Structure 1
């Protein structure tokens, strides 16, 4: 039996020490500066975004609190009329318009109208009549908008 070394059992040549890259060629100092600039830019963008969200949310809430309306009850009086109770909570001295619509059994809009809300008082509760083109099965408050000041 031959005990001579085969290519599989030959000893590997001794490992040479790793060769270092040329000095200054792969410097990480520039990457650190770029990373810091990106972090600063991301923080600035994040703060601006949060400020925008806070401003939009605040203006939405302030706008919505001037006139808050509901339609607690309604009744179809005929095929062409719907009576509904319009309840609005508001600041004293704030006038505006509330838009109400009605839909028929098939989901089609059969009536829509704007109702004036007077400036006097801090609430407005009134039974109003909405004219329809067919029998209304819903009464939906689309929204209330205060008058321009």
Structure 2
């Protein structure tokens, strides 16, 4: 699961000129880090905030990517975060099989955000949920519903 390293954003950076509504602090920062201040940008100019945004995994799974803060461009973030979350899906499924558990379902949610400086949308992080249960034998289920044998 990708989580934020730092969500401290000055209030003046939460608003964009032109009447855009304010955002909650950290709402667009699910897994990204903004380092340094930026200035106003026109078309084709590079945004320092986007250039310095880094992603870091905050799960207890040491076998997945992003163990150290890593820069990903906003254009590549969707693919790379999705691939990272798929690593969690694969690892959780393998762990359940090793433990003799059944995977009931797995979901991946990608969180999005909008850069407060340049207004570009980007994938801010993701979260994987896995629900498993221990194996249930037919003997365990007897008596739970009516068993009729003809």
**Same fold judged by TM-score > 0.5?**
no
TM-score normalised over the length of structure 2: 0.24
Bigger radius of gyration among the two: 1
From the two aligned structures, give the one with the greater strand fraction: 1
Q: Which has the higher contact order (CA 8 A, sep 6+)?
A: 2
Relative to the length of structure 1, the TM-score reads 0.24
